[in-house]
């Protein structure tokens, strides 16, 4: 019965998305769209949770059986928390880190303090490439299912984060005018 309920929820969600989909005459989406969120929002919504899913490998073996969710739990996050588990979660997080490098260099994106993200600076571009490379390496290792090597890759991800945070983020409070300035 539970599987049928999940199937129905997924079917209804897919139907709702299909109903909202633009007609075939609409222009295709492009990657050249305007930035919507601030750099901090991209970091908090995409990078922070996904990097932490990878860092979690240091303490939790992705090959371990998934935890049972409590009976009677009905929230969406509880219902769907066991759909993607183990190494698949690590792979998805690695893909997200790699692919999201394009988001942090989107022209027009602003920092939380209102300054433009320094996307034209060579060092900032290098930091984005380094994050992409760390994500690609994490994906490569996650596919081998080698936890020890994955733990080593967490250092590359942490370094990619720190290399950008030190000159651009770690300069006072979130709204500090010193942020986003090398």
User: Average pLDDT of 128-148?
Assistant: 98
Quote the pLDDT of residue 8: 39
Query: What phi and psi values does residue 110 have, to the nearest 5 degrees?
Result: -110, 155
Question: Residue 145: pLDDT band by 50, 70, 90 thresholds?
Answer: very high
User: Average pLDDT of 154-166?
Assistant: 96
The pLDDT tens digits of the residues spanning 95-129 come to 999 999 999 999 999 999 999 999 999 999 999 99
Point out the least confidently predicted range of 5-9, 133-137, 170-174: 5-9
Q: Which of 109, 97, 96 is nearest to 39 (CA)?
A: 109
Question: Residue 26: pLDDT band by 50, 70, 90 thresholds?
Answer: very low
Position of tokens 């060092």? 123
| 3-state secondary structure (DSSP) of residue 116 | strand
d(CA 21, CA 25): 11
pTM, full prediction: 0.76
Question: Residue 30: pLDDT band by 50, 70, 90 thresholds?
Answer: very low
Does the pLDDT value for residue 9 go beyond 80?
Answer: no
User: Average pLDDT of 133-162?
Assistant: 97
| 3-state secondary structure (DSSP) of residue 66 | coil
């Amino acid at each position: 019965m539970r599987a049928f309920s999940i199937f129905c929820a997924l079917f209804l969600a897919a139907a709702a998305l299909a109903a909202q989909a633009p007609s075939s005459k609409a222009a295709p989406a492009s990657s050249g769209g305007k930035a919507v969120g601030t750099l901090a929002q991209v970091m908090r919504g995409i990078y922070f949770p996904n990097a932490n899913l990878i860092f979690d490998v240091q303490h939790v073996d992705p090959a371990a059986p998934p935890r049972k969710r409590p009976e009677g739990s009905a929230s969406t996050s509880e219902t769907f928390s066991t759909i993607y588990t183990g190494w698949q979660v690590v792979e998805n997080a690695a893909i997200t880190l790699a692919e999201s490098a394009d988001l942090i260099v989107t022209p027009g994106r602003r920092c939380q303090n209102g300054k433009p993200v320094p996307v034209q600076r060579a060092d900032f571009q290098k930091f984005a490439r380094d994050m992409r490379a760390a994500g690609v390496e994490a994906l490569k290792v996650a596919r081998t299912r080698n936890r020890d090597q994955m733990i080593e890759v967490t250092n590359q991800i942490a370094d990619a984060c720190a290399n950008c945070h030190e000159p651009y983020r770690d300069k006072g409070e979130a709204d500090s005018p010193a942020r986003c300035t090398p």
